């Protein structure tokens, strides 16, 4: 939820990429730019801008082009990307992970909680940027 976004402060840019969506210190959704990374590594450029990770929710999955699908494997919730139907996100109790839809291979190491992590995984698996409608 936006009102508690400050619980998810990003103190280290490890795992972030250009154009990842995050909250700024005012609670606005922004895309990271190269100057933001420069500030992390060179505090004399302005120091900590105050960025916060966006928790992954059903709302953000839908904005990112995923659709809910009925699953034969309860208690999992299944979301499939509209354009890349091989790219599935499974959710159970607020935890998410990616499953390759063709061979049903689950990747435990790809467990994730935040929107920027989904953006990065999507790019790694599809070689395409994840389009997010705000």
Q: How many CB atoms lie within 10 A of CB 116?
A: 21
Q: What is the pLDDT of residue 103?
A: 53
Across the chain, which has 134 residues, the per-10-residue mean pLDDT values are 76 87 91 83 64 92 92 78 85 75 52 88 87 91
Burial, 94: exposed, middle or buried (Cβ in 10 Å; 0-12, 13-18, 19+)? Answer: exposed
pTM over 0.75: yes
Give the residues across from 97 on adjacent strands: 90
Q: What is the pLDDT of residue 129?
A: 93
């Amino acid at each position: 939820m936006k009102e508690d976004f400050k619980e998810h402060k990003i103190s280290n840019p490890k795992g972030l990429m250009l154009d990842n969506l995050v909250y700024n210190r005012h609670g606005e959704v922004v895309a990271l730019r190269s100057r933001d990374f420069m500030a992390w590594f060179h505090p004399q450029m302005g120091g900590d801008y105050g960025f916060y990770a966006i928790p992954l929710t059903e709302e953000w999955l839908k904005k990112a082009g995923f659709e809910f699908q009925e699953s034969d494997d309860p208690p999992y919730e299944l979301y499939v990307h509209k354009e890349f139907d091989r790219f599935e996100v499974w959710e159970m109790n607020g935890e998410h992970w990616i499953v390759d839809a063709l061979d049903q291979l689950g990747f435990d190491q790809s467990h994730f909680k935040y929107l920027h992590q989904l953006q990065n995984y999507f790019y790694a698996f599809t070689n395409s940027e994840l389009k997010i409608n705000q």
